[in-house]
Amino acid sequence: MKVILFSMLAALLAAVLPGRAQVYLADPAIFRGEDTFYLYGTGHPRGFLVYTSLDLKEWRLSRDSFALKRGDAFGSSGFWAPQVFQHKDSFYMAYTANEQLAIAKAPTPAGPFRQTQFVPLKGTGKQIDPFVFFDSDGTAYLYHVKLQNGNRIFVVEMKPDLSDIVPGTERECIVSGDGWENTAGAAWPVAEGPTVLKHKDVYYLLYSANDFRNKDYAVGYATARSPKGPWTKFAGNPIISRYTLAVPGTGHGDVFADEAGNLYYVFHTHHSGERVAPRRTAIMRLRFRAIDGAEDVLEADAASFRWVAAAGEK
């Protein structure tokens, strides 16, 4: 009951407080700079907008505030699921366009992200939902989703300069199964939106399952001792769902940390119980709970759930 009341109150405040309009970005990601947080996501046909915040509470969007704009990099449509990360002295955006994966480069997290050659990364078939993870030894891995007999999560090594993948290193990670991952009994199972983090030498792969239009779209995770797997799904999945938050369509997000090292998950939900779009952006805390003699359990703090509110245009 407390979770339901909190969710209702959060939605009400986001809707009625002056200058606190809801942010509508699906597949969101947040990058933390030196003193600013940058928010990106799916939501514009001409590329990726960027919101900024100093406190994770109020987000500002300037007019024409594109981090990546169509015509500056690969892609003519279907700009989905961006991820921004820093490598050495430059900033990179991994993203989907034309159901292919691409990486663009920028001098700042706000962009503009561009390519010198408008080309996607190599790979077979339709590919979406990129996430680049750097292991402790510096090796870069590209987690992504292939659209083949379902939405299936794969990983492949990247070249040191991030110019492309390393052929022959691709490996399948996650395929959705029954139960919470496919409540509609769909013939095209879905596992998507991969995000990876490392904790105490264990790799945690967060992923979303069910069709995104399904109210049961939810988040679970799997663990491995290597970035390539094999992956073992957590028995307590899902950790974020409409049953834990009383909000439908919860999923496809990104993990980030604040200055104090607190972990957060930014993700999207359905617009309401009756409508899927435009999907709403939300944030909540994550934490690890130690278990004697076993891997730490990754938990989502339902009480910390809140909508992402915009401060209005400059």
Q: What are 17-45's pLDDT values in tens digits?
A: 344 589 999 999 999 999 999 999 999 99
- According to the model, what pLDDT value does residue 20 have? 57
- According to the model, what pLDDT value does residue 262 have? 98
Indicate if the pLDDT at residue 145 is higher than 90. yes
Predicted confidence band of residue 312 (pLDDT cuts 50, 70, 90): low
Residues 213-228 pLDDT 10s: 999 999 999 999 999 9
Indicate if the pLDDT at residue 297 is higher than 50. yes
Indicate if the pLDDT at residue 6 is higher than 60. no
Indicate if the pLDDT at residue 46 is higher than 70. yes
Half-sphere exposure of residue 227, counting CA atoms within 13 Å on the CB side?
A: 23
CATH code at 140? 2.115.10.20
Dihedral over alpha carbons 227, 231, 236, 238 (to 10 degrees): 70
Question: How many domains does the chain fold into?
Answer: 1
Domain span including residue 30: 2-313
Q: How do beta strands 90-97 and 100-106 pair?
A: antiparallel
Dihedral over alpha carbons 301, 151, 271, 40 (to 10 degrees): 70
Residue type at position 184:
A
- According to the model, what pLDDT value does residue 73 have? 98
Indicate if the pLDDT at residue 137 is higher than 90. yes
Indicate if the pLDDT at residue 74 is higher than 70. yes
